[in-house]
Amino acid sequence: MGKPMAMNLLKAGYQLIVYDINPDPVAELVKAGAKEGSSSQDVASQSEIIITMLPNSPEVKDVVLGDHGIIYGIKAGAVLIDMSSIAPLVSKEISEKLLQQGVTMLDAPVSGGEPKAIDGTLAIMVGGPQETFDKVKDILKVMGASVKRVGDIGSGNITKLANQIIVALNIAAMGEAMVLATKAGVDPEKIYHAIRGGLAGSTVLDAKMPLVLEGNFKPGFRIELHIKDMMNALDTAKELGVPVFLSSQVMEIMQALKVDGKAKDDHGGMIQFYEKLAQVEVRRKS
């Protein structure tokens, strides 16, 4: 996700200093015009605005607060935009430590997966001060078609958790419905086109059903990453005392797929859980 997002910033004319423990995306970005940093601390020491895009809460804490982390290089007045999808309480914890050094943080997770990261059409959900958001909004608009501030620090990741619950439940519902239809002998592609314009139609349905019909589960957003997001959602719900029955059930479906060796499939591949049990595949008829 981070590489195509950085590519779009380069194409828009921004000067970038990049660092990653994986040298391959760094090499590609340097070839495209970026400068390579030697560590997170080094990048921060040379930057007014620092953007992080990482897998989960522990990685963000390590990159920002750990050895050679951003906190040791960042200057007062700088802005950290964490675009990772992490636990909201971790965003608040990191923000409080940075504020002690005069640094403002935004949590700005994204939705849309790698395809929209490449296109620069991500949905970006931002938490943090309005003044800071206004300062960096034009930068975020290079990476996203929808850039919305939803509240104070942590609210960006709360919004992302809500987004991921809705997406997961949509995909699971699509899987149940289309496996039922196929088992009944009705063409799933015809059903898709019949319902997509009605109340059951959705962005999720339009994004995932054509891929399912082709049997294409190449990851745009991996099941293992959705498991991570749902775990954060379940943990946050437990902290707040909110019942999330359906989310818990979808989490079990994804965990079963992980055990079945499908963790790196696209989350649209959740339908494979139902296909295996019903002994039928939802595919385009030749």
- pLDDT value at position 40? 98
What is the CATH code for 2-151? Answer: 3.40.50.720
Q: CATH 1.10.1040.10 spans which residues of the chain?
A: 158-278
Sequence ranges of the chain with CATH classification 3.40.50.720: 2-151
- Average pLDDT of the residues of the chain: 97
Per-residue pLDDT of 56-105, as tens digits, reads 999 999 999 999 999 999 999 999 999 999 999 999 999 999 999 999 99
CATH of domain 158-278: 1.10.1040.10
Task: Give the length of the chain.
Answer: 286
Q: Has residue 25 got a pLDDT over 80? A: yes
Q: Angle of helix 155-183 relative to helix 88-99, nearest 10 degrees? A: 160
pTM to 2 decimal places:
0.92
Q: Which residues does the annotation mark as catalytic?
A: 160
**Phi/psi at 234 (5° precision):** -65, -40
Q: Is the pLDDT of residue 52 over 80?
A: yes
The three-state (H, E, C) secondary structure of 188-245, written as one string: HHHHHHHHCCCCCCCHHHHHHHHHHHHCCCCCCCEHHHHHHHHHHHHHHHHHHCCCCH
Span 202-210, average pLDDT: 96
> Residue 220 pLDDT more than 90?
no
